[in-house]
């Protein structure tokens, strides 16, 4: 199953959410840094022995190999401290220039992973080079902060997505995660109402708690255990809804294929 996490605008916490969600995922999982603006995951996460990850092993090599038709995910996986397997992103946006036609086949490579792939695709705009990969994911989850502008940009991005042609496959199942204070259930309700009024049938899957200290640990700004933190506990609550969202599209895709073959 391929799950992509994105923002509509700003930096609401996509990388932090993707990183923590992958680290609490109960089955086999790989975290892919596919942010075209340049990846943060390799900057935040050293190898278990404390050495930096190899920047030449990762998305760029995978994309080059996919272009040659020989890509395989396994050689591009590196293990980070804590045991999570990751695919490092690009170091600068220019590195993805000219990679255009490769993304649809790269989605196929990611899908061959035996477990779940969680991919951080950064800010999703109509000209994002990774849009074909996003459109071939099972679930596309937007991360948003509960602000007027956060909601407004999200609504417009979701509206735009309803006009996008995903080709021969069904669109990814769409969902939203809000990064918000633990007691703030009102924001989730407001967001659901706003989307409903806009005619957007997109579920709000839940919240990632605002927990700056733990987010700082994830970003390697401070060191301490966060296993029982609000950030990790709230991410655990999201595993079920995110997985169910991805599975709903997998079922839709199977039905779609059956119809095509008839």
Ligand X SMILES: Nc1ncnc2c1ncn2[C@@H]1O[C@H](COP(=O)(O)OP(=O)(O)OP(=O)(O)O)[C@@H](O)[C@H]1O
Per CB under 6 A, does 7 bind ligand X? Answer: yes
- The minimum distance between CB 221 and ligand X, in angstroms, equals 8
Q: If contact means CB under 5 to 8 A according to the sort of partner, which of Mg ion, ligand X, none does residue 113 touch?
A: none
How would you classify residue 250: left for phi > 0, otherwise alpha for psi between -120 and 50, otherwise beta?
alpha
Among 31, 134, 158, 210, binds ligand X (CB under 6 A): 210
Q: Which does 12 bind (CB under 5 to 8 A by kind): Mg ion, ligand X, none?
A: ligand X
Which of ligand X, Mg ion, none does residue 212 bind (CB under 5 to 8 Å by kind)?
ligand X
Residues paired with residue 141 on neighbouring β-strands, in sequence order: 5, 175
Q: Which does 16 bind (CB under 5 to 8 A by kind): Mg ion, ligand X, none?
A: ligand X
Sign of the dihedral defined by the CA atoms of residues 185, 191, 194, 199, in that order: negative
Which of the stretches 133-141, 160-168, 205-213, 253-261 binds ligand X when contact is defined by CB under 6 A?
Answer: 205-213
**Which of 72, 121, 124, 129 minimizes the C-alpha distance to 104?**
129
142, β-bridge pairs: 6, 176
The helix-helix angle for 185-197 and 148-161 (nearest 10°) equals 40
**Dihedral of alpha carbons 137, 143, 149, 151, sign:** positive
Looking at the Cβ atoms of 171 and 218, the one nearer to Mg ion is: 218
Q: Are 117 and 29 a contacting pair, CB within 8 Å?
A: yes
Q: Which of residues 216-235 bind ligand X (CB under 6 A)?
A: 216, 219, 231
**Residue 231 has which token pair?**
């950030």
Alpha-carbon distance of 28 to 246, in angstroms, equals 15
Query: Which two structure tokens, joined as six digits, stand for 56?
Result: 């030449």
Q: Between residues 71 and 174, which has the closer beta carbon with respect to ligand X?
A: 174
Q: Does 15 bind Mg ion (CB under 5 A)?
A: yes
Which among 11-19, 48-56, 210-218, 221-229 is the span making contact with Mg ion, rule CB under 5 A?
Answer: 11-19
Residues found near ligand X in the complex (CB under 6 A): 7, 11-16, 35, 40, 122-123, 179, 208, 210-212, 215-216, 219, 231
Residues found near Mg ion in the complex (CB under 5 A): 14-15
């Amino acid at each position: 199953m391929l799950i992509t996490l994105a923002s509509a605008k700003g930096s609401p916490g996509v990388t932090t959410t993707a990183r923590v969600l992958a680290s609490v995922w109960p089955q086999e999982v790989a975290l892919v840094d596919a942010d075209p603006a340049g990846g943060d995951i390799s900057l935040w996460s050293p190898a278990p022995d404390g050495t930096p990850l190899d920047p030449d092993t990762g998305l760029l090599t995978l994309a080059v190999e996919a272009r040659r038709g020989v890509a395989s995910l396994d050689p591009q996986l590196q293990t980070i401290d804590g045991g999570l397997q990751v695919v490092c992103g690009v170091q600068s946006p220019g590195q993805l220039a000219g990679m255009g036609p490769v993304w649809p086949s790269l989605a196929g490579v990611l899908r061959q992973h035996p477990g779940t792939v969680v991919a951080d695709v950064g800010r999703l705009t109509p000209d994002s080079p990774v849009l074909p990969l996003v459109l071939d994911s099972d679930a596309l989850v937007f991360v948003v902060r509960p602000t007027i502008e956060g909601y407004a940009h999200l609504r417009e991005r979701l509206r735009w997505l309803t006009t996008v042609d995903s080709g021969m496959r069904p669109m990814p199942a769409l969902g939203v995660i809000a990064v918000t204070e633990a007691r703030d259930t009102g924001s989730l309700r407001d967001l659901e109402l706003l989307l409903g009024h806009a005619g957007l049938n997109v579920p709000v899957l839940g919240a990632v708690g605002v927990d700056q200290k733990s987010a700082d640990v994830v970003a390697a700004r401070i060191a301490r255990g966060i296993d029982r933190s609000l950030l990790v506990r709230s991410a655990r609550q999201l595993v079920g809804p995110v997985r169910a969202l991805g599975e709903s599209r997998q079922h839709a895709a199977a039905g779609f294929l059956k119809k095509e073959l008839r």
